[in-house]
């Protein structure tokens, strides 16, 4: 039984690491979106004719902070066969 608990703890740790990696990638995308928004603002200000407002981006804009679904321990346990 102790071995299974250790395995579950190990898997939970792995999931936490992957969530952290995704958080980092989302932060990077947020920074790039902010940079693009700044550039668009600069172009808008320097343009003699006001362009039409941007109503959509060619990619989804992540929400910040990104809500994460709660960790479902029962699914983790069933995946590990516990």
Answer yes or no: is pLDDT of 80 > 90: no
Tokens linked to 82:
């516990």
The count of other CB atoms within 10 Å of the CB of residue 63 is 9
> In this predicted structure, what is the pLDDT of residue 19?
93
pLDDT higher for 77 or 18?
A: 18
In sequence order, the 6+-apart residues with CB closer than 8 A to the CB of 73 are 12
pLDDT higher for 6 or 76?
A: 6
33-79: per-residue pLDDT in tens? Answer: 999 988 888 876 776 665 556 666 666 666 656 556 666 667 777 77
């Amino acid at each position: 039984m102790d071995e299974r608990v250790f395995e579950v703890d190990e898997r939970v740790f792995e999931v936490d690491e992957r969530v952290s990696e995704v958080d980092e990638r989302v932060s990077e995308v947020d920074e790039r979106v902010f940079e693009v928004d700044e550039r668009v603002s600069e172009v808008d200000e320097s343009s003699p004719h006001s362009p039409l407002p941007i109503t959509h981006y060619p990619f989804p804009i992540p929400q910040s902070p990104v809500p994460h679904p709660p960790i479902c321990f029962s699914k983790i346990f069933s995946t590990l066969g516990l």
